[in-house]
Structure 1
Amino acid sequence: MTQPPAAGPTPPPGAGWSGADEIHDGLPAAPAEPGAGGRGLRRGLLVAGATAGVLVLGGTGYAVATYVSGGGNQPEEVLPADTLAVVKLDLDPAAGQKMAVSSLLDRFPSLTSGEDDDDLRSTLVTPLLADNEWGLTYEQDVEPWLGNRMAVAAVPDPGSEAGVAGVVVLAVTDEAAMTERLEAVPADSFAFAVRDDFVLLGEDQALVDRLAAGGSTLAEDAGYTEDVDALDGDQVAVAWADLAGLQDVVPLAEAGAGLGDQALSGRVVLGVHAEDDALEVTGLTRGTAPTTSTAATEPTGLAADLPADTVAALSVSGLGEALTTSWATLQESGIPPEFEEQIEALGLDLPADLGAVLGTDLAVAVTGDLAAPQFGARVRTDDPQRATEVIDRVAGDAELPVAVSPLDDGYVLASDPALADALAADGGLGDTEAFRAAVADPDDAGAIGFVDLGELIDEVVAQGGDDAAQAQEYAALGALGFSASTTDDGGRFVLRVTTR
């Protein structure tokens, strides 16, 4: 393949380099596997909840805090304007983001211990090089020239059978070192070309040469810039896709996306934003982009009224109507015969009965401790009598130990009579500090989720034992929350992980 000439004279290779024909045999040692075992529901819930927060706070966040300069070119400045999708990570973001991530990580000292924690680039790239046929290693072949910004993109490739090609964009701090390392790889392995301060890597030399030759860029595309600007504040990472453009190149219905004949349109953008006490992931659909959210245009109003001691909650509006509307499609796809037999045996009239049970607004709550959790739901429905009759019939047939109580506007269902009484009253979950911090814009959301991570962690710590030591490492976590809502231009989804 034809490679671009190095800029200026090539400096002497670093210590230990023995020529381009000596591709390194050794690979970095694989990380030690975590210990086996597990201690049932208690450990499972703890690890699931803590991981959801720490993966975001400790993974993306720690890397950003280790770089302090900021500024400079971004990958979209070397990608073409007709780029179809891109995911980029900025390890050198704006100063405010560095300070916010640093504040977050100060709360998790165990996450920043260890000799390799100061280089997320190694964490990201090393697995990609594992068992590569050229013997490349991160330390000797990538680290000397890799910068702090990177992206993976899908671009149109009319000359290929697929019509689309993938390209990797990496910031370069030493072009001569980069060229020397990459030219040591056999010419038919991959292609690369340089544009400004980035190297573009792909499978076809003609493609990357074309991308490097210039022309309008993604940074100049109005749709892309408006979508990213619509996110709140500066971002640590951004993902963006032109759904209509992707479908024109790769028909998603034929690719098995489960969308049938539905045409995609519009765009989607997702950003990761750090605050002093939280990390927030925001997703937007723009234009008329479809969304998989089941939330109706009417907000859900039940989550805030759940009991104040609720540990986990899910609240969604419009489920009954959504299921009734889509029932014909479900029937066309084929209902298993055994399910039809059960429906007939119970005397259910579907979808009307199920629509009454799910109602116009539904909230599910989990209370109690990890050893003996209690489950319940409060539902608003236009036909409470029909809903409770259906539940009594199904619960009786299945011998389910649940309590059902009708209300003027719906019903409550719970695994414990005391919880049923609490659900029937107006609780105070929406007034708790954990809920307010974790759930963005609850008054406008058609779907809300909440987990009180701090409460779960405190309970495990109080119980002592091996799990307590593990839980203590995550003691700074507060809560996890999400909300989904409709906007004039599409939809909005916000996931927040808070600290305390």
Structure 2
Amino acid sequence: MTQPPHPGPPMPPDGPWSGTDHLHDGQPWAPPEPDAGKRRLRRGLVVAGVTTGVLVLGGTGYAVASYVSGGGAQPEEVLPADTLAFVKLDLDPAAGQKMAVSSLLDRFPDLVDGGDDDLRSTLVEPLLQDNPWGLTYDDDVEPWLGNRMAVAAVPDPDAASGVAGVVVLAVTDEDAMTDRLEAVPDADFAFTVRDDFVVIGQTQAVVDRVAATETPLAEDEDYTGDLEALDGDQVAVAWADLAGLQGVLGQALSPVGADLGADLGGEALTGRMVLGLHAEDDALEVEGLARGTAPTGSTAGTEPTRLVLDLPEDTVAALSVSGLGDAIETAWASAGGAGLPPELTEQAAALGVELPGDLGAVLGSDLALAVLGDLAAPQFGVRAVTDDPQRATEVLGQVLGSPELGLPVVTVPSEDGYVLATDQGLADALADDGGLGGTEAFQAAVADPDDAGAIGFVDLGTVIDQVVAEGGESAADAERFAALGAVGFSATTTDDGGRFVLRITTR
């Protein structure tokens, strides 16, 4: 089974990128001609390969952000066009993203080993710690691991689930890779090499099919269009064909009488989902797009939520969603109340609460939850817009003031809604128009707040400062993340589906 050596791609003069290397000129390294030569190992390495690949791609956030997309061949040029889902990382960043990542890492000197400039080892070494095969990064991975990797789900007609997982890793030294992987004890997987990528899977048939594809995912119009729809260059990408996944899984479940569409509430999955991780000098941003999945019927978050913008400026955490009342009543009508525990229905009736109408009145057309104060004694509050403020406050009083709960809260109706808080002072503050939406931390963390139907925000800087001030072991850990500013997310409904943005900022 021995094949002639396959030369790896030319490396940049200084080897793989590290946080202190100079920027390359952005031109891709010229790959050699494709080689269809295969390597077969004892069955079992797929478990090792898939597991290691998933772990590598699922590493800590800062380490994942250390490597961003650059030029050259990508895993989607090896994966087939009928790939159902995949996640990829690129360890050779383009110039702009490289500088942004380096700027971010400079803010967290305690998180990166100052004596090791190779961020790749910072990512991989913790994942190999205490592994059952005795693998080490320096001896078993670094000699052959290239700069690009992906984990993917591809159709497999021979599998009971109809889906198989594969790992695609760039290889710089095929002989070194083979030597290391063949030495793994009790390994059980198959692999093959194509275009300086190794494809690892549970069966030879799966990896052979992937390697033999003539139409790669990189040429699929849906995939390329989804990738182009993301804003700017990406650190990492995750993509899924939702309709394809449901079709394959539905066929696999049909012999046992399962109906995936019914299990999903009668709604068939449609369209696709794409996520991109983007680095900026002072923030990380995850953007998610639902494509071809325009919502039908009444759903929460389809209209802009406004209440969160007017919460007090010193709000530590907030969550605001529009349309919850209508959404819960529509869902209830569609399901006929099915699935609700009888005990809950009985308890609601005993308290004089009628479902779903009273619940719809409480949730209203816009609802904001707020947390203020110190971690040792936080304050909680709610501000809502509803068509029936009087009934909403009555229901809240009956439920929260019941003997079973007996929560000491203040509930105050207003002209267009109500305010609920842990004390009168907070209730008064929530009733006034505050300025959270105008604060620097909120504006930096929350994207497109004027159009979003759902918004979340946490002032990480304030939380970290409070933990540090309390002292103790937690304070030392918190100081390592002292540069964090805030985290925010927003979700917006679009004509084609929806957009989700999560931002983690620094200060």
- TM-score, normalised to structure 2, is 0.82
Counterpart-to-counterpart distance in 2, 1:310 and 1:202: 49
Counterpart-to-counterpart distance in 2, 1:334 and 1:155: 34
Deviates more, 1:161-170 or 1:350-359: 161-170
CA contact (8 A) 2:7 2:173 kept: no
Counterpart-to-counterpart distance in 1, 2:60 and 2:309: 27
1:269-418 maps to which residues of 2 (within 5 A)? 269-288=274-293, 295-328=300-333, 332-397=337-402, 398-418=405-425
1:89-488 maps to which residues of 2 (within 5 A)? 89-113=89-113, 118-120=118-120, 123-124=123-124, 127=127, 131-132=131-132, 136-184=135-183, 189-251=188-250, 254=259, 258-288=263-293, 295-328=300-333, 332-397=337-402, 398-488=405-495
Cα pair distance change 1:458/1:126, threshold 3 Å: closer
Where structure 2 has 5 or more consecutive residues not aligned to the other structure, the ranges are 9-40, 43-58
1:122: how far off?
6.5
1:357: how far off?
0.7
Counterpart-to-counterpart distance in 2, 1:256 and 1:216: 30
Counterpart-to-counterpart distance in 2, 1:393 and 1:215: 66
Cα pair distance change 1:98/1:280, threshold 3 Å: same
CA contact (8 A) 2:261 2:268 kept: no
Q: From 487, 492, 497, give the equivalent of 2:499.
A: 492
Cα pair distance change 1:159/1:184, threshold 3 Å: same
Deviates more, 1:181-190 or 1:92-101: 181-190
Counterpart-to-counterpart distance in 1, 2:286 and 2:87: 14
Cα pair distance change 1:8/1:342, threshold 3 Å: closer
CA contact (8 A) 1:191 1:201 kept: yes
1:118: how far off?
3.1
CA contact (8 A) 2:67 2:98 kept: yes
CA contact (8 A) 2:70 2:90 kept: no
Counterpart-to-counterpart distance in 1, 2:284 and 2:372: 26
Equivalent residue letter for 1:60: V
Structure 1 counterpart SS, 2:274 = strand
Counterpart-to-counterpart distance in 1, 2:387 and 2:196: 61
Equivalent residue letter for 1:79: L
Counterpart-to-counterpart distance in 2, 1:187 and 1:255: 37
Share of identical aligned residues, percent? Answer: 69
Cα pair distance change 1:348/1:210, threshold 3 Å: closer
Structure 1 counterpart SS, 2:372 = strand
Structure 1 counterpart SS, 2:354 = coil
CA contact (8 A) 2:288 2:499 kept: yes
Deviations 1:81-108 (A, max 9, x none): 1111111011212111111011111111
Match in the other structure for 1:40: none
Cα pair distance change 1:228/1:121, threshold 3 Å: farther
Equivalent residue letter for 1:90: D
Aligned alpha-carbon RMSD (Å): 2.9
Deviations 1:258-308 (A, max 9, x none): 5143211100001110000000011111012669x9633111011100011
Cα pair distance change 1:93/1:431, threshold 3 Å: same
Cα pair distance change 1:121/1:287, threshold 3 Å: farther
CA contact (8 A) 1:3 1:192 kept: no
Cα pair distance change 1:465/1:161, threshold 3 Å: closer
Structure 2 counterpart SS, 1:323 = helix
Cα pair distance change 1:326/1:261, threshold 3 Å: closer
1:391: how far off?
1.5
1:331: how far off?
5.2
CA contact (8 A) 1:235 1:271 kept: yes
Structure 1 counterpart SS, 2:232 = coil
Counterpart-to-counterpart distance in 2, 1:432 and 1:453: 14
Counterpart-to-counterpart distance in 1, 2:122 and 2:473: 31
Counterpart-to-counterpart distance in 2, 1:8 and 1:471: 47
Counterpart-to-counterpart distance in 2, 1:444 and 1:413: 26
CA contact (8 A) 1:440 1:494 kept: yes
1:446: how far off?
0.6
Aligned length: 451
Deviations 1:319-374 (A, max 9, x none): 11111111245655333232222112111111111111110000011111112111
Match in the other structure for 2:75: 75
1:210: how far off?
2.9
Counterpart-to-counterpart distance in 1, 2:490 and 2:438: 16
Structure 2 counterpart SS, 1:460 = helix
Q: From 57, 67, 70, give the equivalent of 1:64.
A: 67
Structure 2 counterpart SS, 1:326 = helix
Cα pair distance change 1:163/1:5, threshold 3 Å: farther
Cα pair distance change 1:188/1:334, threshold 3 Å: closer
Equivalent residue letter for 2:316: V
Deviations 1:39-78 (A, max 9, x none): xxxxxxxxxxxxxxx953x2323x328xxx9421110011
Cα pair distance change 1:290/1:209, threshold 3 Å: farther
1:474: how far off?
1.4
Match in the other structure for 2:56: none
Counterpart-to-counterpart distance in 2, 1:485 and 1:162: 34
Structure 1 ranges of 4+ moved more than 4 A: 2-5, 114-117, 128-133, 183-188, 252-258, 329-332
Counterpart-to-counterpart distance in 2, 1:271 and 1:350: 40
Cα pair distance change 1:358/1:465, threshold 3 Å: same
CA contact (8 A) 2:410 2:421 kept: yes
Deviations 1:101-139 (A, max 9, x none): 111111111011365673435744774695446x54443
CA contact (8 A) 1:357 1:388 kept: yes
Structure 2 counterpart SS, 1:300 = coil
Counterpart-to-counterpart distance in 2, 1:462 and 1:184: 51
1:156: how far off?
1.7
Counterpart-to-counterpart distance in 2, 1:497 and 1:126: 23
CA contact (8 A) 1:295 1:484 kept: no
Equivalent residue letter for 2:330: T
1:141: how far off?
2.6
Deviates more, 1:253-262 or 1:321-330: 253-262
CA contact (8 A) 2:124 2:137 kept: no
CA contact (8 A) 1:302 1:378 kept: yes
CA contact (8 A) 2:63 2:122 kept: no
